[in-house]
Amino acid sequence: MLDATLSRDRTFCRAMLPRVSRGYLLCRAADTLEDAWPGSAAEIGERFDLFEAALGGDGAAVADLGRRAAQVQSGRSEFELLANLGRVLRVHAALAAPDREAIETCVQTLASGMRRYATRAAARAGSAPYLDDEPELHDYCWVVAGCVGVMLTRLFAMRAPAPDPALEQRRLALAPVVGEALQLTNILLDWPVDVRRGRCFVPRAWLDEWGLEPAGLDPGARGARARARLPRPDPGAPPARAAVLPVAGAVGGGLVASRAPRPRVPVGTATPEAVARRAVGRRPRVAAGRPRCAGDAAPLRPAGLKPDRRRRR
């Protein structure tokens, strides 16, 4: 019985892998445009325009973007992928229509969102944080990870549907939450490297509240900025804030807490499990086009929030 179940599982995985991997290749291509190919706001915007046109079937755009990537790839796999985007799209076109639709919806959401943030960042000073406030952090997590969770959930549901529609909708509603958790984990893991290369995903509003600049979060920095003081999270803080700040202190080494008087959660108790439990009970703001779940309309508002704190959306 176990062997028969394992055989079915292997068959399922073999059938799913091409669909998932092709979707990921297109997502990775968009990620390269945002993260690995610097330029002016106009140059970055033009590349994203070509990419989105290529997704829409514009053969000239595929060739143009591939030619540009081939000129700068220097043996880097991400540029090799862009240089061969036409091959990926041809394989993608061979998928069944429902699979293509799930992948294309995801990649279009991802590419348009990345374009918006990347072009804005290129037009700003190099030291400016990538995100303005906490709602943008939620939105960014949606456009780069949450929509991928929805894509995967839809692909899996086509092969292993839920026994009832309500459960299917519940899975779709939770997919962006998982995506956000994974993206926040990536932000935390890459924190030092990102800050040193000028990319800070800690929202500007958070830094302003504590009188910090992105360079002050670099654990390898020296001088006053390296001794910046970060808060421990409030017990009722939103999950994004609760996850980021305590780990920043751990990464920074010399970064310590300094603000009172409010009840604090000791850094040692802000484990991933504790953060996950807190996140389960709270809903992120709903991004446009994101599947909704019950309770989405409830705002994220930490206990004791100062009335003059900026909450721009």
What is the SS3 assignment for 162-187? CCCHHHHHHHHHHHHHHHHHHHHHHH
Give me the pLDDT at residue 218, please: 81
Q: How far apart are the first and last CA of the chain?
A: 54
Q: Evaluate if residue 213 carries a pLDDT over 80.
A: yes
Backbone angles phi, psi at 265, to 5 degrees: -105, 115
Give me the pLDDT at residue 275, please: 36
Give me the pLDDT at residue 68, please: 95
Residue 254: which pLDDT band, with cuts at 50, 70 and 90? very low
DSSP string, 209-247: HTT--GGGG-TT--SGGGG-BPPPPPTT--HHHHHHHHH
Contact 230, 219 (CB under 8 A): no
| Least confident among 11-15, 111-115, 290-294 | 290-294
Q: What percentage of the chain has pLDDT greater than the value 90?
A: 47
Give me the pLDDT at residue 298, please: 38
Q: What share of the chain is helix, strand, coil (3-state, %, to 5)?
A: 65, 0, 35
159 or 6, higher pLDDT: 159
CB neighbour list of residue 117: distance below 8 Å, 6 or more residues apart = 34, 130, 131, 140, 143
Consecutive H or E run containing 145: none
Beta bridge partners of 229: 256
The whole-number average pLDDT for the span 245-261 is: 38
Q: What percentage of the chain has pLDDT greater than the value 70?
A: 63
Give me 34's structure tokens: 């945002």
Residue 91: which pLDDT band, with cuts at 50, 70 and 90? confident
Give me 231's structure tokens: 């808060």
Q: Evaluate if residue 77 carries a pLDDT over 80.
A: yes
Q: Which range, 31-40, 270-279, 288-297, is most confident?
A: 31-40
DSSP string, 93-135: HTS-HHHHHHHHHHHHHHHHHHHHHHHHHHHS-TTS-S--SHH
313 or 7, higher pLDDT: 7
Instruction: Annotate 135-171 with b (16+ C-beta within 10 A) or e (fewer).
Output: bbbbbbbbbbbbbbbbbbbbbbeeeeeeeeeeeeeeb
Give me the pLDDT at residue 170, please: 94
Q: Which range, 89-103, 273-287, 293-307, is most confident?
A: 89-103
Q: Evaluate if residue 283 carries a pLDDT over 50.
A: no
Average pLDDT, the chain: 75
pLDDT digits (tens, 9 = 90+) for 14-55: 665 566 566 788 999 999 999 999 999 999 999 999 999 999
Residue 216: which pLDDT band, with cuts at 50, 70 and 90? confident
